[in-house]
A and B are shown apart, each in its own frame.
Chain A
Amino acid sequence: EAQVTQNPRYLITVTGKKLTVTCSQNMNHEYMSWYRQDPGLGLRQIYYSMNVEVTDKGDVPEGYKVSRKEKRNFPLILESPSPNQTSLYFCASSLLKGAAAYNSPLHFGNGTRLTVT
């Protein structure tokens, strides 16, 4: 089954304790992205990757890191989490080949609910 898999689904941690949220897709998609979803604000992009070893900042990158060493995996790293990073996080991927593929729909994982105390 074609899917984007995130782990863990729920995570409670304390301020300053480094954590990683994993994301894996099995659709051979080139484009992957991380979003956070907060009430009333919609989905906001954190980081994205156009291909292996190619990553770039989205709209709200502060406090986050990513890496793309393999096409299928795109982990999100919080080096020193703070309470304002409490949110619902989604990983997404899409088939991106050439300029015409910018209109490819995103395939989302089922989310990771992070609480930082």
Chain B
Amino acid sequence: EDQVTQSPEALRLQEGESSSLNCSYTVSGLRGLFWYRQDPGKGPEFLFTLYSAGEEKEKERLKATLTKKESFLHITAPKPEDSATYLCAVQFFSGGYNKLIFGAGTRLAVHP
């Protein structure tokens, strides 16, 4: 079954305490993996797209990596303003159609 699983569901960090969020997927025909950030009361906002295993993308304190089965979003020395829900989504080709599946998200809280 095509599935995207994010872990942990929630993560509490102290300011400056680095950590990683995980997005694992069981799909074939991967076309791309997306990371989004969602603030309370807002729609998801695009962060990164990764296309192939070994690829890495960076933006400020965030770094996304991709393997054949999962992606990690590494947060280095987080600040309170990094608090948000982080969503990953997997685009793949199945049955003649392009499909996009979102994970349930990881709620990150960074405390000063």
List A residues at the B interface (Cβ < 8 Å): 4, 35, 40-45, 90, 92, 102-103, 105-111
Contacts and interface: CB of A to CB of B under 8 A. Distances in A.
B87 interface: yes
Contact of B100 (A41, A45, A90): A45
B43 A103 contact: no
Contact of A106 (B4, B44, B101): B44
Contacts, number: 47
Nearest to B4: A42
Interface in B6-63: 31-32, 34, 36, 41-46, 49, 51
The secondary-structure label for the interface of chain B is: strand
Contact of B91 (A40, A103, A110): A103
Given A102-B98, A103-B51, A105-B34, A43 B87 contact: yes
Given A42-B105, A103-B49, A105-B34, 7 more contacts: A42-B87, A42-B101, A42-B104, A103-B32, A108-B43, A108-B44, A110-B43
Top 7 A-B pairs, shortest CB-CB distance: A108-B43, A105-B46, A43-B102, A42-B102, A103-B32, A42-B104, A102-B98
A103 B100 CA distance: 10
Contact of A41 (B44, B51, B98, B104): B104
Contacts of A4: 43
13 contacts: A41-B104, A42-B4, A42-B103, A43-B89, A90-B43, A102-B91, A103-B49, A103-B91, A105-B49, A107-B46, A108-B43, A108-B44, A108-B45
